[in-house]
Chains A and B, each alone.
Chain A
Amino acid sequence: MISFLVSRLISAVIVVLGVSCLVFLLIHLVPGDPIEVMLGESSQLADREALRYTLGLDLPVYTQLLQYFSGLLHFDLGTSLYSKRPVVDLLLERIPATVELAMSGLLIAILLAFPLGILAAIRKDTLWDGGAMTFSLLGISIPNFWLGPMLILVFSLWLGWFPVSGREGVASLVLPAVTLGTALAAILSRMIRASLLEVLNEDYIRTARAKGLSERSVILHHAMRNALLPVITLMGLQLGVLLGGAVITEIVFSWPGVGQLTIEAIQRRDYPVVQACVLLISVAYVVVNTLTELVYAGLDPRIRMLGEN
């Protein structure tokens, strides 16, 4: 178990380092002069050089990289060009809103996916199954920047149940969470169905039935627990889709989170903030994914044995 833990942690650290490097290099890899893009083509040469000096872009690349990493170690992500405030402060203001949205999206996805997936599996090839799988296909195919406006149209403008946008109270959370959670619910319910169907053919299910357990107990205690393993892995991976989707969902609902900050920063050409947002979201994803793998290994002894050999 220890060696598995260490190997997972080392590889997570390597990925985080790589991600940080790539985010740093983004500004250098992109063709053209970033200063010119920030200030516009008609800017004065003196202004350009002044900004170049302020951002440290006149230094050799390796010096910049060193400064960048020593900044990261001190949680110093630079200063916003637009608001002149430390980027870390801007991020800290926005993180709670995004975490709240992502967690509610995940909750909605779980609440939708488990009943649908289980129903589809135990009533395989019936109308229930067809309905659940149609929902799943639709959920995968609906882009969240269209689902969001549609939900606003029906539930805010026509029915008036929920506010159109903003972040005030629980009611304002419902539509963004549904928008964000639907795609994940669709993928999860498919996976739960497939995984449960596979498990239901196992011998121990027949044994459980033969000893007279209720169908409910067979499904929930014997089948579901075993079917859950691949579902958990998928959930970890799909959390990334959730975090990525949060960017667009936050824009649709004017949700004041990290995603909205990212897009605002792009529109203002506030590159230090863009870099910090991208870095934060990706590192959060890597951390969540690594945690999922560890949980998975904790649940399934086969995985950690594999890691040791």
Chain B
Amino acid sequence: MRYWFPLGIFICWFVLASFGPLFPLMPDHIELSKILSTPGNDAWLGYDDLGRPLWDRLVEGARVSFYVSLLVVTISLILGTLIGATSAYIGGWFDHVVIRIIDIFLAFPGLLLAIALAGLMGPGLDNVVIALSVIGWVGFARLTRAQIMALKHRDHVHAALALGAGRTRIIMRHLLPLVLAPLIVEATFAVASVVISEAGLSFLGLGIQPPDPSWGSMIRDGTRYMLVAPHMVLVPGIALLLVVLSVNLLGDRLRDRMDVRN
């Protein structure tokens, strides 16, 4: 139970996102006679305010959230780790500048910088990925920097240095592998936060544009019909909650397993 529930949800999400196009889905197909109809025998999960099937839109939305989070976390992880590791290993004025830049990025609370960026660049999926990566690298950079600072004076690093290993080799082969466990845990939690952030931007109308569905924009559309069709808010919201919850649970389990202190 401790592993199977979150893992099961996660696998469902992955399968829907990856193999969704193999199903005969019609997320934009309008069935006028079924506008706002609630879930029932002939309408699994019901229809939205334009008469589009919610299940089909939910699967499409899973694709969006999965690929946005995959892309953003990968970009942030690579960028943040490289910046953090280089900064910690080189030290000196370079490190000071990097710390200041990290502090400045951290001064923008929550989604604010992403909201501003997505707003200024104009809506769209690419811009969501860019905006979320711009705020995403900071966490990884800070974590990697702190870890490498603690590791860089270990004996095996001095030994590698004495054997004539270069800076790149020491960082890539002798330091980063030791930081991997906390980075994996951080990346798991980052997936959860990116899923919420993407949906949040789409909720604000700054993410993916109609008619393409995102769980966030589905919730926003649903809030206008809550009295007659509460399923329009419930369906995408529960999907979102389950995914975020299961990713957070997996992160917790991973942290316990890999014995990472936060």
Contacts and interface: CB of A to CB of B under 8 A. Distances in A.
Given A248-B200, A251-B204, A274 B120 contact: yes
A19 B116 CA distance: 13
A141 B192 contact: yes
A267 B248 contact: no
Contacts of A285: 107-109
Q: Is the interface of B mostly helix, strand, loop or mixed?
A: helix
Contact of A247 (B111, B226, B227): B111
Contacts of A275: 116
A97 interface: no
A146 B248 contact: no
Contacts of A141: 192, 241, 244-245, 248
A141 B117 CA distance: 24
A281 B121 CA distance: 20
A282 B109 contact: yes
Given A142-B241, A143-B199, A247 B230 contact: no
Contact of B237 (A22, A37, A146, A239): A146
B196 interface: yes
B107 A282 contact: yes
B53 to A, nearest CB: 21
A248 B100 contact: no
A19 B104 contact: yes
Given A18-B100, A145-B200, A240 B110 contact: yes
A282 B241 contact: no
Contacts of A248: 111, 200, 203-204
A149 B101 CA distance: 37
Interface string B217-250: 0011011001100100100010011001100110
Contact of A137 (B196, B200, B233, B249): B249
Interface string B132-171: 0000000000000000000000000000000000000000
A32 B120 CA distance: 10
Interface residues of B, number: 43
Interface in A122-164: 137-138, 140-143, 145-146, 149-150, 152-153, 157
B200 A143 contact: yes
Contacts of A252: 223
A69 B149 CA distance: 36
Nearest to B204: A263
A126 B120 CA distance: 50
B36 interface: no
A95 interface: no
A150 to B, nearest CB: 7
B205 A267 contact: yes
B5 to A, nearest CB: 12
B245 to A, nearest CB: 4
B108 A278 contact: yes
A286 B100 CA distance: 13
A271 B227 CA distance: 36
A122 B200 CA distance: 37
A266 B206 contact: yes
Contacts of A31: 121
A137 B245 contact: yes
A262 interface: yes
A171 interface: no
Given A31-B121, A152-B226, A157-B227, A145 B108 contact: no
Contact of B108 (A251, A274, A282): A282
Given A15-B103, A274-B116, A149 B241 contact: no
B122 interface: yes
Contacts of B70: none
A150 B204 CA distance: 17
A140 B110 contact: no
Contacts of A78: none
Interface string A147-188: 001101100010000000000000000000000000000000
A256 interface: no
8 contacts: A26-B116, A140-B248, A143-B241, A145-B199, A149-B223, A247-B115, A248-B203, A278-B113
The 10 residue pairs across chains A and B that have the minimum distance between CB atoms: A244-B110, A240-B109, A266-B119, A18-B104, A244-B109, A146-B237, A141-B245, A141-B244, A145-B203, A243-B109
